[in-house]
Structures are given as structure tokens and as C-alpha cells.
Structure 1
């Protein structure tokens, strides 16, 4: 059995198990949900490959709850009635840490599925960050940055070509230690399953050509607020734009599979009169999905620095989301009608927030820093407080705080 690689989610899961009756871990297929949940479970029921267990849901559901807790119900969405049964068990037993449910797709809304409020905690899991896969030192802590602390670190250990390879390979646990050729083959198979099995299995008409074009269009527009009307044209190809209903169905399916992970628009009070944009900035849950959809590798990214920059942004946003989640934070975007934009706004529940520009090339740090300072000057601090950190996340170099107060953060130094 492969050695378990500790995940940042471990701490979240353990904390929730101490106080909640059940925990739902959700995330895309193959991101490591089952492996993580199995570290805590005493009994495991796998609905994806155990037909006997699926039969018991109808014939003898009580038998499914007879094992020693915590009981793991893996891929619970295949038998959605298990949600209500687990909820009732939590109510009846009145103890924490009874059940873990994992799922790689959210079921359709169902009026018969009752709220898990007060019984279930929900943990979102993504593919591994660079800290988890061993490609970042974690010397620059996002927590410390948001506490206003100066952070330093050496980000020169991850060579530039290897950094691009991390984009191509992604953070999938099965690909740790694998070479690029293996990873690209694995990812092609992953997307083939999504296109030919997973999305049609959700009730959408089998249209592999349309779905492949949608994935490619999203990949070309990664890190951008691409309009749905533009996506509809790309998906339809020579036949013309697909119907809105068709496109919404595909986009909803990708969201239910948790393969997309968009940044919503942050709309703070501004001193500027510029109108704020409200469209989300589009990302996949892992940068490797985008490059796999385009069938490009490290050599292609080296030959196209502009495209490499967008996919690097997707890598950095993925890691920011993972590190911010531990703090109860979210990652948004900010854009106004004058063309000004900030790549990532990290907001915590307590009100602290920070702004980050993401630039693959360290030569772009000065321009990015000026953009951050200009942005901070037009935020109404009386409404939102001043930013705890302004930072430029870049590809390589040394981490530290500049004289203007902006942090420089090589991605291979960033951690929770």
C-alpha cells in the first residue's frame, strides 16, 4: 500500500470530528479524499465498488451503521439516501465523530434530502498544494502575512523548468514521483472519463466533441472573466453557438464534479467611481486540467510565456485557496471598468484581508507592486480596514518585504 502523504485537510478533519457528528469531505475524483478519510475511519463502506453495500441501503440499512465509528461512507452520492440515515443516526446517538462521508460529485438538489446543519461539517478538498507535494518550503506563511508579519525565504531551489512541470503534472496524489509523460497520459484518461462517462452519467446528452471544446475554451481563458456567450460560441464550433441551456448544463456538471473553482468578484466600497465588474474569474480546481485539455506540456509552456503566465496564476490561486481554507478564508478577484484588476483577494471571516498579484516572471514585480499600491489607495479603509498584506507571488527568487511595504513571494516558499 502506498505511503500516506499528510494533507493540510488532516487538521480540519480532526478538528471537526471532535465536535460534529459527521463530516462531509467533498472534492474532485482522485484528489485524495478516501485516503485522508481512511486515516480516521474504523469502518469503511465503499459504494463505488461494493455492490453488497449498495444492496443493503434498501434491504437492511441498519447493517451499514453497525460497524465501529467513525464509519466512512465513500462516494456517498451514489446512494443519496445515506445522507438522511446518517443525519438521523447523529440525532439518535448524540455523539461527535460518528461518520465521514466522501463524494466526488454533488447530487442534484432533492427535497427529500434534509439539511445537515448542526450535524454535518463540510470540508472542501483539492489536489495537493506545492507544500503538500514537497515542492515548496512553506517558509512564507500565509497566516503570518495576514497577521502583518514580515516573511523571508529562498525560492531558488525549484528550477524554472521544474516549476512549469508542476503546472503540467498538477497536485494529484497518484502522480507524486511520476514523470511528465506518465502524468500527461494519466490526465488524458482522467478527462476522457469526465467527458465520456461522468458528465453523460449526470443525464446530459453525450456530446464528447462539445465537452472537449468547452474544456479547451475554459483552459484558454483560465484566469480571465470569460463570458458565457463567448464560451457558447467556442463550444458550438462550426455549427454555431450552443444553446444557453446546453452550456449551463455542461457548466453545472463541471461544477458538480468540482472540477471548476472560480474566483467570485469582490465588491468593496471604493473611493474611485469606476464601476466594479461582477463576473467570476474562471479556473479549474488544478492547473493540470487546463494544460491537459489543451494537450500541452512543459516545452509548450516554455515556448509561450504569456500562456505559461496564466497557467502559473492558476497554480498560485489553487495554493492560496488551500492555505486560506485552513483559516476560514476565501479567495476572490477584483476588477473594475477601467481595466484595473487584482488577481487574488484573500478574505478571512474575522475581517482581515490581503491582496496578491501573480507574476511568473520576477521582472514584472515592480509593475505588480505599483498596481497593488494603487489598488490599496482607492479602497475605503473605513469600511473594510487596511490590507494586512500586499504581495506579489512570483516564479522564483528570494522572499521579503520591499521598502514600499509590498511582499515578494516566490511560489516555492509559500505555505499555510
Structure 2
């Protein structure tokens, strides 16, 4: 910490402070003097951009990644507990039961943050909307259908989803639609950034309930995608992550766009590997090659514990996701 600096927490509650800091920084432009933090992203980035443009760097602190969770003294040891507890720091550094902390978090988020930002009159409808979004994590986003199910207008659904995104509860994984053919689906997928919060919103109250839950595959997919997303964001990179689907049925869960090529990843929550898991990867790889693109790297992430190799496909167990380069 700078010897003559200061830390300002919850700075979104004191927007006038930024103007004073601008004057101070202009007079003494020493890097690292002030650290500004806020639990709300709403409006904070705009305020910083207006008052401190060119004078401040912005870091988005997402829920902890698997690699970060494992740095605590007693990290979860198995997949189901990892998914259930998620990556919010207080659960791990204070040993607070995940269900209790997440229940308090959701209540605080809805009653304080959302009321301040959206002026939502019907908090019950918003709570229903959030849970409906959780039920669609890992699925293609259809805002009209989502709004209809929640009993709200399309524009309201769009505005409410934007709030969930700016508060880092979820994000849209865009469809990759290079000029391959006219059959590509362009709708994004919705993914929650924290599997623990996702489990809570889905009514999962202990890890064992995940074993046979109908949405276990979607929860695992969102967890893997969010891990890759966090790797790129925490490295200061603009995420280049997508999903791929064409109307004739070919679908790949995760596509990373890289300089000169791509990485294709299928995600399966089962503890064993079946031969048909590789078919979408190989079909899309062949399609890319026929279009003159470089042969992509192929990966399968699964819910088992053993790293394997199948000629052209690297098989990554869930526990080694954090160790791979993405």
C-alpha cells in the first residue's frame, strides 16, 4: 500500500468523492495511491469512466475459481461438494455453510441492490425471474419465452437480465457464427458464474441431491464454462469464448477463439467416458478444416478423475480444469 494512499470501500455510495480524487490524482499522478472498491457494479464503471478516465485501472472480481478455492485450508474434495459450495470467498475463509450464506446473499441482493438500481416494485416477480434464469443456465437464451414464463414484458426481461449480468451473477456465452453456412444458430447461451448460487436458486440444499438431479449436466456445464471465463478475465484478457450450434443438430459446448485457430471443448458431467462424446468435436473439426481453417485443438472435460487421451482428443477430468491452459 502506498504510504500516503487510502482505500475507499463501497465507493458507489459516494459518487462526489470521484471528483475530488480526480483533482488529487492530477496534482500528484503517482500510481497506486488510491484503491476504490465497490460491491455494486451498477453505475460505478460509468462514474469512474467520467471522472477518472485515463487515471484508473478497473478489475472485475468474479467469484473464486477452482484454483483459488483450493488455496484455503479445507477446500471441497469431490465434484458434487465443489459444485454445491461454489466460489464466494466468505463460504471458504469463514467456514460458513454455503446454504446459509447464499440465502442471506440472495435476500440482501434483491432487497438492497435491485431496489436501488431498478426501483422494482414487485420484488417477488423479480425473485421468480432470477430463479427462472437459474433453470435456464446452460441453455440457449430466449428472452421472449423467459419473460412470458415470468409474467413480464420482453423489455422488462431484457432490463432485469442486464442487472444480473452487471452484478456478475450470470453472463451470455455468444454463439460462434463464422461464415461457415447459413444454418448456424446465433442465440447466446445463459450461464451462471457461480455454481453454488445456481444450486441454491434451483432448490438444491445439500451436495448429495446433485447426484441424480435432472439439471446436473447443465450445472456442470455452466461450472466448466465459468471456470474458463474466469481464467481469461482474471488474466486481463477479453474473453473469446463461444458455443457452437447449427440447426441440423451439430453442437459443441465451448469454443475458444485463438490466434490462428480454435479450441473445441465438449462437457459431460458423467464419471465415465463414452465413445459418442467425441463425435461433435470431430464433426466440427472436419467442418472447420473443409473451410480452410486450421485444425482445432480438441478437449473433453468430464466428471471423472482420470486424465486420458484418445488420439486427437485430450480428456480432462474435472479436478484438472484449473491446471490447463485456456
- TM beyond 0.5: yes
Runs of 4+ in 1 over 4 A off after TM superposition: 109-113, 177-180, 380-384
Q: Which residue of 1 aligns with 2:216?
A: 308
| CA 203–413 in structure 1, closer or farther in 2 if over 3 Å, else same | closer
Question: Is 2:322 the counterpart of 1:407?
Answer: no
Query: Does the CA contact (< 8 Å) of 1:80 and 1:107 recur in 2?
Result: no
How many equivalent residue pairs? 317
In 2: Cα distance, 1:205 partner to 1:295 partner: 24
Q: Deviations over 1:140-182 (max 9, x none)?
A: xxxxxxxxxxxxxxxxxx86xx3112111111111117779x2
Distance in 1, matches of 2:42 and 2:236, equals 27
Q: Distance in 2 between matches of 1:400 and 1:119?
A: 48
- CA pair 113-122 structure 1, distance change in 2 beyond 3 A: closer
**For residues 264 and 216 of structure 1, do their structure 2 counterparts lie closer, same or farther at Cα, with a shift above 3 Å needed?**
same
Q: Distance in 1 between matches of 2:314 and 2:236?
A: 20
Any unmatched runs of 5+ in structure 2?
Answer: none
1:262 is matched with 172
Q: Which residue of 1 aligns with 2:237?
A: 328
Aligned to 2:301: 393
Pairwise CA distance, 1:323? 1.8
Q: Using the TM superposition, give the Cα deviation of residue 409 of structure 1 relative to its aligned residue in structure 2, in angstroms.
A: 0.4
Aligned-pair distance for 1:86? 3.7
Q: Which residue of 1 aligns with 2:50?
A: 114
Q: CA deviation at 1:222?
A: 0.7
1:320, distance to aligned residue in structure 2 (A) = 1.0
- The aligned counterpart of 2:80 is 164
Deviation at 1:111, TM superposition (A): 8.6
Of 67, 73, 78, 1:131 maps to 67
Kept in 2, the 8 Å contact 1:275–1:336? The answer is yes
Q: Structure 1 regions of 5+ residues with no counterpart?
A: 1-40, 43-66, 137-157, 237-241
2:9 aligned partner: 74
Q: For the residues of structure 2 that align with 1:333 and 1:264, how far apart are their CA atoms?
A: 6
Greater RCO (CA < 8 Å, at least 6 residues apart): 1
The equivalent of 2:130 in structure 1 is 215
- Distance in 1 (alpha carbons) for counterparts of 2:103 and 2:229: 25
Q: Could you tell me whether the CA contact under 8 Å between 2:267 and 2:301 is conserved in 1?
A: yes
Tell me the CA shift for residue 115 of structure 1.
7.1
Instruction: Determine which of 158, 162, 173 is the counterpart of 1:252.
Output: 162
Alpha-carbon offset, residue 124 of structure 1: 2.1
Structure 1 residues 366 and 72: alpha-carbon distance in aligned structure 2, compared to 1, 3 A threshold:
farther
Distance change (3 Å), C-alpha of 1:274 and 1:101: same
CA distance in 1, matches of 2:42, 2:274: 43
Aligned to 1:339: 249
**1:379-390 aligned within 5 A:** 379=288, 385-387=294-296, 389-390=297-298
Residue deviations 1:353-399 (CA, integer Å, cap 9, x gap): 31211101143553232211111111268775432x21111111321
Which residue of 2 is the match for residue 102 of structure 1? Answer: 37
Q: Conserved in 2, the CA contact under 8 Å of 1:269 and 1:383?
A: no
1:45-102 alpha-carbon deviations (Å, 9 max, x no partner) = xxxxxxxxxxxxxxxxxxxxxx723x33222222234445444544443333233322
**Range with bigger deviation, 274-283 or 170-179:** 170-179
Q: 1:110 to 1:101 in 2, by over 3 A?
A: closer
Change in Cα spacing, 1:252 to 1:334, as seen in structure 2 (3 Å) is: same
Q: Give the equivalent residue in structure 2 for 1:53.
A: none
Q: TM-score, normalised by structure 2?
A: 0.85
Mapped contact 1:232–1:247 kept (Cα < 8 A): yes
The answer to whether 1:280 aligns with 2:188 is yes
TM-score calculated relative to the size of structure 1: 0.68
Q: Report if aligned partners of 2:272, 2:303 keep a CA contact under 8 Å in 1.
A: no
Structure 2 partner of 1:202: 117
| SS of structure 2 residue aligned to 1:119 | coil
